[in-house]
Amino acid sequence: MTSRTSSTTTPSPSAPRPSGRWSQERRLEFIDYRLRWDGRLNRSDLVEFFGISVPQASLDIARYTELASNNIRYDASARTYLSGTPFTPLYNTDNPQRYLNDLLISASDLCSEGSVFLGWSPPVGVTPIPARVISAETLGQLLQAIRNRETVIVDYQSLSSDEPQVRTLSPHAFGFDGFRWHVRAFCHLRQSFRDFVIARMLSIRPGIASTISSLDDRAWCTPVTLVIAPHPGLPPAQRKVVELDYGMQNGEARLDCRQTLLFYLLKHLGFEGAQAVTPQAQQIILKNADEVACYLDGLGAPCST
């Protein structure tokens, strides 16, 4: 196959963005975000990020000031706008998880142009995860099959077989277990819904219209709630730390997931396999273990074969 190099030139990150792509509402959210997390804002921030004119940036700041005068003040000595106190966000910019997700996206080099509003950011370290090679063709075929309710025919390499097997699948959803992506699909060979690791699909080709409904995937459609709490063997001070770590209220936290993802969640929480010897190693317990076990028994072994 002959490869072709695109003649499209990737714009420089510092190049102005076409202003027509961005509404004033989006720019006001940007101002809100920068004031909340950077604590400061200049007209040049708007000009460089959105590719608008200086007068337009001034109008945007003036409009934001009209809407939230307590959130913004001008420091003449620093010649910059600073965050006011108390700060009451106009948009969903006060969510710490959003900011940390933006840091993660940026640190992982997954940030596309204009996708996050970060200005100054602290140094960030990210634990590396081995890259799983997924074919763009494979992903595209799966997306099309899900949208059009069609089957796909794949050569699938499982751990339980020395040679790849031809599988006809009716995919209906994607799942992420924290380390790898899989597709949730009805396997016409095994006559059951299973998880198939996308990276293990060696080849894929379109099939025919599928008569399988995702509503028949009971494990996918069934919600399960896990109730976790600090290990009772921990001293009170350490139990308090665990409560803070997991955002617990009244000594417990509730985690909702699909039944089909239950095995992966239990594994991440340390409840899969042998239990830790000491409370300090395990730290948390599953308060509704018997209830959850019933869902796990109904699910059977994980199907990412």
Q: 305 in a domain, yes or no?
A: no
Is the pLDDT at 271 greater than 90? The verdict is no
pLDDT tens for 213-231 read: 999 999 999 999 999 999 9
How many folded domains does the chain comprise?
3
Q: In CATH, what number is assigned to the domain containing residue 208?
A: 2.30.30
Give pLDDT, residue 255. 95
Q: 129 in a domain, yes or no?
A: no
Q: 208 in a domain, yes or no?
A: yes
Domain final residue, candidates 184, 214, 244: 214
Q: 157 in a domain, yes or no?
A: yes
Stated pTM of the model = 0.75
Please tell me whether residues 238 and 287 are part of one structural domain. Answer: yes
Residue 17 CA: distances (Å) to CA of 14, 27, 34, 128? 9, 13, 18, 32
The parent domain of residue 59 ranges over 19-107
> For the chain, where are the E strands, in sequence order?
40-41, 72-75, 80-83, 150-156, 165-176, 181-187, 192-197, 201-209, 223-230, 253-258, 284-286
Please tell me whether residues 173 and 232 are part of one structural domain. Answer: no
Domain final residue, candidates 214, 244, 276: 214
pLDDT tens for 22-81 read: 689 999 999 999 999 999 999 999 999 999 999 999 999 999 999 999 999 999 999 999
What is the C-alpha separation between 50 and 42, in angstroms, rounded? 13
Give pLDDT, residue 125. 86
Domain final residue, candidates 161, 193, 214: 214
Please tell me whether residues 33 and 99 are part of one structural domain. Answer: yes
Please tell me whether residues 201 and 256 are part of one structural domain. Answer: no
Between strands 150-156 and 165-176, the pairing is: antiparallel
